[in-house]
Amino acid sequence: MANYTTLPSTATTRPKPFQVSIHEQQLSEFKTLLKLSKIPVPTYESLQEDGRFGISHKWLVEAKRYWEEEFDWRKNEEYINSFPNFMATINLPAVGNEDFKIHFVALFSQKADAIPVAILHGWPGSFLEYLPLLTLMKEKYTPQTLPYHLIVPSLPGYAFSSTPPLTRNFDQNDVAKIMHQLMVDLGFESPGYLVQGGDIGSMVARRMSEFYEACKGFHINFYPTPTITFPPDGIVADVPLTDTERAGIQRAELWKRTGNAYSMAHGTRPSTIGLLLGASPLALLAWVGEKFLAWSDEPLSTEEILRCVTLYWFTESMGRGIYPYRSRTLLSETQTQNKPFGYSYFPKEICPTPAAWTRKLGDMVYYKEHDK
């Protein structure tokens, strides 16, 4: 591995190198639970393979077989460990002197003018979804030529990062504090850093830009307005939309009618859903796997889906990570940002937002409509 692990001289912390290694007993217990997990009898709904009622009986049967017979977690550990992993201790004295262990994957540049970028995931994502990006960066650049410091944290409650506090409420503002402090501790307070966020990460990115001077700008690919399918206040309804944007609004309408029950469950009964899905790997696969199947531009391989679900299982990320859904208020649709930002429009995003609506957020200096 090329040396992408050299921190800036301005860093005030020395995060420890981290290796993923699930204990053999955990792996054995998982295999036993999976083997004993029963697939329910087929129903009319589960025999429909077009996804309109969720995952199909056939898909779950085939995925379970692959999980038992072909999936190799140890090989996936080797893949994860081929990237520089770290564990940092983040202290927040302003909220009771709390310490948080934050896992992150990073490529540190040795260029003096490299731009620090924090890349934040959402649900049901994790740091895993950005490893292909880091692979591309490693193939294109050496540590001496890499133009960015790329920091990919696991949000609190996800993967190997700390569980949110058990004695107080914890929300996206707290996550923003921790992510900001991570970037400061890594030496990026001056001249500052940028943030990219998707899903929950997009809301955290906006908060970091709002609250912290060191965050100089952000890029998001998820910006649902509170009305989702109607223009925010101040945008006239007859603003011309492209064919792609009109199709995106229809997609958001469909999601609103038939696809957001999970969000309501996460937001209103997080204890129930967390305890339920934390008790059965097959139940977790059905719940999370459905989202990967429904929300991906191109079908993900069974291997990719199982890698993500298995990480969630071993790290108990499902129950620990859905707390942001209780904070159902978005940043105000009329709230403008004083920092420059960029927005990427993906047609298969669950709630793609037209460019004119997104400009309402503030100083949009970059916009791109992607094919996929």
The pLDDT of residue 319: 97
pLDDT averaged per 10 residues, the chain (length 372):
90 97 98 97 97 96 98 98 98 79 98 98 98 98 98 99 95 96 98 96 95 97 70 62 88 89 95 98 98 91 98 98 81 64 92 87 92 86
Q: How far apart are CA 210 and CA 217, in angstroms?
A: 9
Q: What is the spatial distance between Cα 346 and Cα 150, in angstroms, rounded to a whole number?
A: 22
In 3D space, the residue among 315, 306, 316, 297 whose CA is nearest the CA of residue 370 turns out to be: 297
- Residue 300, judged by CB atoms within 10 A of its CB (0-12, 13-18, 19+), counts as middle
Taking each helix axis as running N to C, give the angle between helix 270-277 and helix 261-268, from 0 to 180 degrees, rounded to the nearest 10: 110
Q: What is the structure's pLDDT at 297?
A: 85
pTM assigned to the model: 0.94
Q: Which CATH architecture has domain 16-369?
A: 3-Layer(aba) Sandwich (3.40)
What pLDDT is attached to residue 235? Answer: 58
pLDDT at site 321: 98
Q: Is the dihedral of CA 57, 60, 63, 69 positive or negative?
A: negative
pLDDT of residue 289: 97
Instruction: State the pLDDT at residue 8.
Output: 96
User: What is the structure's pLDDT at 338?
Assistant: 83
Task: Quote the CA–CA distance of 162 and 167 in Å, as a whole number.
Answer: 14
The whole-number pLDDT of residue 2 equals 74
Distances 329 to 114, 226, 337 between C-alpha atoms, Å: 35, 8, 17
